[in-house]
Chains A and B, each alone.
Chain A
């Protein structure tokens, strides 16, 4: 008899969602987490799109430790001394679509609910290797000890060294991974409401581009309950090619007047960092094999489409589907690849692979360098000139716009890029 029906590596959203489902099905499941507590190693932007957690976890959203519910979406094009912002306000939010979240708090809470359902969670337990016998994964090696299982679910996040060791996944190439630096600024609930013009548990999700001096990347501001999350996300390859440090780009962003106006006077209380996988549908690795399944970031389930970042809803859904596949294998007492392949079928029928397939060209669309340099500048130039009245003759609106676009010879690029964006994102 193995030590567990299922061993889950990693108590992030994917791992916890898998364990929740398996425990509910009455399975004997052990979760191993290398951190001091679940969430202690986990960083997101971020906001969670709530559809997946609503569907998979039978606890009301109002009882979950979300920070704020997003009622305002902003996209800012930043230049040195000006900015242009697009703002969408939802005034009648009966059913919130997304909520801001701090993972050290959220994952810890979630892990307690998973334990209540009957799963065992062991923290400070780093899995060093997988047990391989006769071509089957039969469990894990943790702190020099063997722990055996019928199925192992790898939910260890973006780096996924175990999947790499198994040969299911290759290491990242520099153009398919981004680096993020993030800061937490304490302002207090009242002050945040005042500065961002919010009520109760209302929140803002704000994406910003144009300040990275040509580096492929952008920034974000999310309002949490009593703190504000600010950060930058840049393509690893682009940082090295431009010889710019992600730490310095974070400082430029934090000290930019457009960001300072929100956080001035607050206290910086934490600094963190994380990677995101920008693999795209075509580079998703093989995610099942004899005795093993891969879920969440470890499987490369992440989507960046301009201001939209998605990974948490994919992590929750894929974790839950991995649990379902493992349960089917346990019922059949057959842990072969042929049986576990059902996981792939479940994913294909779900929003996870549907959306990743649908937006498979988004990594290419957002890798367009003009998005980070000339376009934010162009938008700022046009608006600045449109609004400029100083007693001298001001050209007509049409000629301001067309002159700016034509002067830079950008019209052809612009039309093509607009077409590409609309088709990919």
Chain B
């Protein structure tokens, strides 16, 4: 639970949501492709900020994924197709209590 009137860091906000985290990532990023990507579209469309640009490289924090699928649309059509993304295995990933 978090106070509602203060700005929250994204990891604080995500601590509110329940996950069953797989040891294996359901997201792969090919930084060879990201290198030449102008838009970096993945950075804007993810409510969980799964994608982070660090030292010129894209890192995917897959354990925070809310499973929308917006990143793959953005990356494949406005970026340079660096992302491979599928739903986590059955029963894994996010578990909404309210939804």
Q: A interface vs B, CB < 8 Å?
A: 34-37, 39-44, 102-105, 107, 123-126, 142-143, 158-159, 161, 171-174, 177, 179-181, 183-186, 224, 227, 229, 236-237, 239-240, 242-247, 250-251, 254-255, 260, 263-275
With both beta carbons as reference points, the residue of chain B lying nearest to A123 in the complex is identified as: B91
Contact B14 A246 (CB under 8 A): no
Complex alpha-carbon distance, A272 and B48, angstroms = 8
Q: Is the beta-carbon distance between B17 and A271 smaller than 8 angstroms?
A: yes
Residues of A within 8 A of B16 (CB): 268-271
Q: Which of A43, A142, A143, A265 touches B99 (beta carbons < 8 Å)?
A: A43
Q: How far is the CA of A260 from the CA of B89 in the complex (A)?
A: 38
Q: Is B23 an interface residue (CB 8 A)?
A: no
B positions within 8 Å CB-CB of A: 1-5, 7-8, 10, 13-14, 16-17, 20, 39, 41, 43-49, 66-70, 73-74, 76-78, 86-87, 89-91, 93-99
**Across-interface contacts of B39 in A (CB, < 8 A):** 240
CA distance A247 to B86 in the complex (A): 21
Given contacts A174-B78, A185-B4, contact A270 B97 (CB under 8 A): yes
Whether A159 contacts B77 by the Cβ 8 Å rule is no
The distance in angstroms between the C-alpha atoms of A260 and B5, with both chains bound, is 7
Contact partners of A239 in chain B: CB under 8 A: 44-45, 74
B4:A263 contact, CB within 8 angstroms: yes
What 8 new A-B contacts, CB under 8 Å, besides A236-B45, A239-B74, A275-B68?
Answer: A35-B95, A104-B99, A174-B78, A185-B4, A247-B48, A269-B16, A270-B17, A274-B68
A180 contacts which chain B residues (CB < 8 A)?
A: 47, 68
Residue of B nearest to A37 (CB): B95
| Residues of B close to A42: CB separation below 8 A | 96, 99
Nearest-CB residue, chain B, relative to A250: B47
Q: Which residue of chain B has its CB nearest to the CB of A43?
A: B99
Min CB gap B85→A, angstroms: 10
The 6 lowest CB-CB distance pairs between A and B, nearest first, are: A124-B91, A181-B47, A104-B99, A273-B47, A126-B90, A103-B99
**B96 and A41 form a contact (CB under 8 A):** yes
- Contact between B47 and A39, CB atoms less than 8 A apart: no
Contact A247 B90 (CB under 8 A): no
Q: Which residue of A lies closest to B75 (CB)?
A: A240
Most B-side CB within 10 Å, residue of A105, A224, A255, A272 = A272
- Is the beta-carbon distance between B78 and A237 smaller than 8 angstroms? yes
Contact A240 B41 (CB under 8 A): yes
- Per a CB cutoff under 8 Å, which of A172, A251, A273 touches B73? A172
> Which residue of chain B has the shortest Cβ distance to A238 in the bound complex?
B44
Q: Identify which of B70, B91, B95 contacts A177 (C-beta below 8 A).
A: B70
| Complex CA–CA separation, A172 to B20 (angstroms) | 28
Interface centre among B45, B46, B94 (most CB of A within 10 A): B45
